[in-house]
Structure 1
Amino acid sequence: MSSRLFSSVLDVTTPGRYPRAQKWVWRRVYNMLSRFWSDGDWRFMNYGYLPSDAPFSLQAEDEPERTFIGLYHQALDGLPVEGARVLEVGSGRGGGCRYIARYYAPASVTGLDYSPETVRRAERLNSDTPLLTFETGDAEAMPFADGTFDIVINIESSHCYGDVPAFAREVSRVLKPGGWFTFADMRPKSQVKVLDEQLAAPGLEPSARRNISPNVVAALDAAESRKQQRIRRAFLLKRFMSEFSGSKGSVLYKGLSSGQIVYVARRYRKTG
């Protein structure tokens, strides 16, 4: 029953199919999750990434979050983050912004999220981190001036948007010339080409394209035990959370493992 329900939710929220309903549903899902998981046990809400090569360095206190931090590490690896003004669009509970602020020496990090409850939760969970601010706002109409940021990062968030081309145009607008846009998210295999077309906003020059699905599945496997410990405490939401979190046997886990769902990573450079 829960798999059928979750499949129905995914059908409603397929990017571009029902744009108004899509944004309405996702906003309420994330508001609900922020109220339900109110503690600091989970600062991240992504599926994770484990690199195929040598592991990256982390402080001991951050080791429990390694799989989730991995998506941010791969997104920023090699980019000129030191001294940069960084924006994360779809910042969730703020774990990614916190990691960037603590490890990369940026000038500032701003997290933007559509869910007011999630923004309030991020502010409370990360109040100890300098250089970090959070704002409520729409990825398709960002509340920032042109050319404000050096780097824009977007991790596992765009599937919630009603108008991905509008989001890409906004990224191009708020980036400085020479700035970087780094992106990671999943799509059904049949929609990957469409996604690349949607992200091809004027001023954004493609720099790198990767399929990181195997690394994401490896991260899901590594985090399974920890997720199950938390899901067992969910009571009435237990089955839904198993699907939502990509646990083994879920619709999303099966899709990523079989290749029917593809997790992609992209980089773009702002021209001019």
Structure 2
Amino acid sequence: MSSRLFSRVLDVASTGKFPRVQKWVWRRIYNLLSLSWRDRDWRFMNYGFVPADPTFLLEAEDEAERAFIGLYQQAVEGLPVRGKRVLEIGSGRGGGSRFIARYHAPASIVGLDYSPETVRRARRINQDAPSLVFETGDAENLPYADGSFDIVVNIESSHCYGNVPAFAREVSRVLAPGGWFTFADMRSKTQLAALDGQLGAPGLELAEARNISKGVVAALDAAEARKRERIGRSRWMQHFMTEFSGSKGSALYKGLSRGDIVYVARRYRKAG
């Protein structure tokens, strides 16, 4: 797929334009990626985050994923995860849920994703994580009872949704009183005010708002060589994957570097 065609796909799928088409496009993109990008050691699909002082410890087997894990570490750092019920919405290949399960000791963690093929792959490559299951479901219509979770995690997924306010209402519904919703994703600078309005569902109180774009660009730089090596093995998808992965020279990399695209982190607490 050429860079020009990829840009047109992103334009159709951008938040607020043709919401039903948007969800349809993203679901099929991720199904395609799961079918074609079969590497067992590639558990993450996010752009990553490298903090100014990356001090959290990882086991040797996870060091190669440090840049990607950083986005999850910043999301849950300081939250009372131990012994709690955790839901990740938009769990992708499951690396983030696996990290939380292995390093933060929740009582249970569910990884939910809209792409059936991605869920199947996540189950296959994350069998070593305790108290972790993966399920297929829609972020805008969660298949869980009210108050089912203590912490909801949503990382780099909401830009695929057709109805972000409906998603936020569902998060508020499935959170127990006093629970936490931790969110990270990117938007164009002009969409930030709208995003905060969309996430402000009844019952959710904003506790923290940060711009983490600098750390995301640092993670893209840190992962560049590994991504380029893998992209070089994709005979038919090199242009597509260069853009999709945020490699240097891509529209996303340039936008984040210039500040036209902003990567934000938000934390909300459920009232009560």
TM-score when normalising by structure 1: 0.99
User: How large is the Cα RMSD of the aligned pairs?
Assistant: 0.8
- The 5 A counterparts of 1:51-200 are 51-200=51-200
Shift of 1:54: 3.9
Which 5+ residue runs of structure 1 have no aligned equivalent? Answer: none
CA contact (8 A) 1:186 1:261 kept: yes
The aligned counterpart of 1:230 is 230
CA distance in 2: counterparts of 1:138 and 1:84, whole angstroms: 22
Shift in Å, 1:55: 2.5
Bigger mean CA offset, 121-130 vs 145-154? 121-130
Question: Secondary structure at the residue paired with 2:93?
Answer: coil
One-letter amino acid of the structure 2 residue matched with residue 259 of structure 1: G
Residue 259 of structure 1 corresponds to 259
TM-score normalised by structure 2 residue count: 0.99
- Where do 4+ consecutive residues of structure 1 move more than 6 Å? none
List per-residue Cα deviations over 1:23-45 (Å, max 9, x = no partner): 00000000000011123121000
Mapped to 2, the partners of 1:165 and 1:16 lie a distance apart of 11
- 1:258 is aligned with what amino acid? R
1:49-92 C-alpha deviation (Å, 9 max, x unpaired): 00012421111110000000000000001000000000000000
Q: Identity over the aligned pairs, expressed in percent?
A: 73
1:1-80 map, 5 Å: 2-80=2-80
Secondary structure of 2:128's partner?
coil
SS in 1 for 2:236: helix
- Give the C-alpha shift of residue 164 in structure 1: 0.1
Alpha-carbon distance in structure 2 between the residues aligned to 1:55 and 1:247: 25
Tell me, in whole angstroms, the C-alpha distance in 1 between the residues paired with 2:197 and 2:209. Answer: 13
Q: Distance in 2 between matches of 1:227 and 1:115?
A: 22
Residue 2 of structure 1: how far off its partner (Å): 2.4
Mapped to 1, the partners of 2:41 and 2:238 lie a distance apart of 17
Using the TM superposition, give the Cα deviation of residue 3 of structure 1 relative to its aligned residue in structure 2, in angstroms: 2.4
CA deviation string 1:155-214 (max 9, x = no partner): 000000000000000000000000000000000000011000000000000000000000
Amino acid at match of 2:130: P
Q: Which residue of 2 aligns with 1:210?
A: 210
SS of the residue corresponding to residue 38 of structure 1 reads coil
Alignment-mate amino acid for residue 188 of structure 1: S
Give the 3-state SS of the residue equivalent to 2:224 in structure 1.
Answer: helix
8 Å CA contact retained: 1:3, 1:251 = no
How far apart, in 2, do the equivalents of 1:268 and 1:132 lie?
24
